[in-house]
Structure 1
Amino acid sequence: MQVIPVLDLLDGHVVRAVRGERTAYRPIQSRLAAASEPLPIARALLAASGARTLYIADLGAILQRGEHASMLAALRAALPGIELWLDAGYADYASMRALFDHIDTIGQHAGHDAHHNLATLVPVFGTESLRDIHALHAAQTAGLSPILSLDHRAGQLLAATELERSSTWWPSRVIAMTLDQVGSYAGPDLPTFERIRASAAAHTTVIGAGGIRNRADMKAAASTGATAWLVASALHDRQIGLAQSESL
């Protein structure tokens, strides 16, 4: 099972998640890097996990406190060959497109070549923000390979608007996000993951998120059929690492 490291951005810092209670998030104290600046933390997470994918939650954008476009443009330029899965609280395709274009413009002004040696941006549409499910189809048509995050808290789906109950509108990659488990050290929410996986079409890949504490949790998650899981705290605290993710 592949570990996908997570970078949570808020007020210009990488922060540590605490059960999805974002008002409690504070600049990260990590055993992987000395400070909370995004680029050193991003590189350390990728090295510790062996991943070529980095999930970024722009909490400033999600909370409508200001996005981190300049920071994201810098990360994109500094991490060539990496896929950056970006959740920035998109309500629809237009808001996603506006942010991606803004990041591109900043990069061009900084002298970054838009067609060479840049990390690939992949939009993650979270149900807690999404108001138009057609955004996923529009992003797919634009060649962006969008991901849907099914955001849960207290066992309930968080949705900004009424969503179709069937999975027919889901894209090929879906994240089973349980915010209560994020940064909780309470173990992964395997029942929610298994329920979502059972509802998904055969061609849909479901990715787990939150709660991984150690190697035993990774084995338990892998036993459900998960091929990837989003992880942050256990990497920062060196409870898991590259050797463990490769052996599952």
Structure 2
Amino acid sequence: MRIIPVIDIRNGAVVRARAGDRTSYRPIATPLATTSAPADVVAGFLTLHPFEKIYVADLDAIEGSGDNRRAIGALTQRYPSLRFMVDAGAKSDDWRGVSGIERVIGSETLSDGESFSVAKDDPNVILSLDFRGDEFLGPRPLIDRAELWPRRIIVMTLARVGVGAGPDVERLATIIERAGERRVYAAGGVRDARDLARLEAIGAAGALVATALHDGALNRADLERANVMRQNTIRQDTMRQEKREPRKAPF
């Protein structure tokens, strides 16, 4: 179970997301950082655990009112060992080929499913299937046709972000079953280690988390346990793969 901390950036500051109501987002106040500057918040996350990836939502770019490219670029310079999963709406394409960046393309910003099929084979592209309540936000083919999905998928339940509602386990389980060998990440609603265990049980590859980290509901021990589970899963998958592959002759 890979835990991926989330920062939502607007006007150069990290904001606290709640229920997907972006008009209400305000600069974050967190015990992990003395300011809402992106670099300070990322540094705060790293005091909890040696995370390998950070998810970044560029809200200005998603809403078409500007971008936070300079702030995100500064993060890649300050933390060269980290990978940043960047959702910049239609501007996600601007990050193609940039070192340290994985592009997240949200279904809510796409006009049709076929246009995404061009990007789906790019190993640095992640599709976010976005939902508000029971409503899928995006072109219908993207949710109906699993063959359009890339190797990694985020299931984003906006109404559950930051409100302590718990992850949408039923929806996630359905998409995980349809996804086959693809990796599916949960976004929205993770409250504590018990939610992580529920997601692990249904086969989620990981979870995007913010509020539970800022509020201390997930502590260092919880994060280390999740990392141990992930490493065990990787070893088991490797062993299964080795058993499936025929042993090659030494010459």
What TM-score does the superposition give when structure 2 sets the normalisation length?
0.83
Give 2:11's aligned amino acid: D
Moved over 3 A (4+): 132-141
Supply the RMSD in Å over aligned alpha carbons: 2.0
Aligned residues: 225
- Tell me if the contact between 2:92 and 2:104 (Cα under 8 Å) persists in the aligned partners: no
User: Residues 124 and 219 of structure 1: is their aligned pair in 2 closer, same or farther, counting only changes over 3 Å?
Assistant: same
Partner Cα distance (1:208, 1:228) in 2: 6
Structure that is richer in helix per residue: 2
Alignment of 1:1-248 (within 5 A): 1-90=1-90, 95-97=91-93, 99-100=94-95, 120-134=100-114, 136-139=116-119, 145-159=124-138, 161-164=139-142, 165-200=144-179, 202-248=180-226
Per-residue deviation, 1:163: 2.4
User: Residues 227 and 155 of structure 1: is their aligned pair in 2 closer, same or farther, counting only changes over 3 Å?
Assistant: same
Partner Cα distance (1:121, 1:187) in 2: 29
Give 1:125's aligned amino acid: I
Larger radius of gyration: 2
Q: What CA deviation, in whole Å up to 9, does each residue of 1:212-237 have, x standing for no partner?
A: 11222222222222231000001011
- Tell me if the contact between 1:62 and 1:129 (Cα under 8 Å) persists in the aligned partners: yes
Give 1:96's aligned amino acid: S
Q: Greater relative contact order (Cα 8 A, min sep 6): structure 1 or 2?
A: 1
Give 1:228's aligned amino acid: G
Give 1:196's aligned amino acid: I
- Tell me if the contact between 1:13 and 1:36 (Cα under 8 Å) persists in the aligned partners: yes
Per-residue deviation, 1:186: 1.2
Per-residue deviation, 1:185: 1.1
| 3-state SS of paired residue (2:148) | coil
Percent identity over the alignment?
36
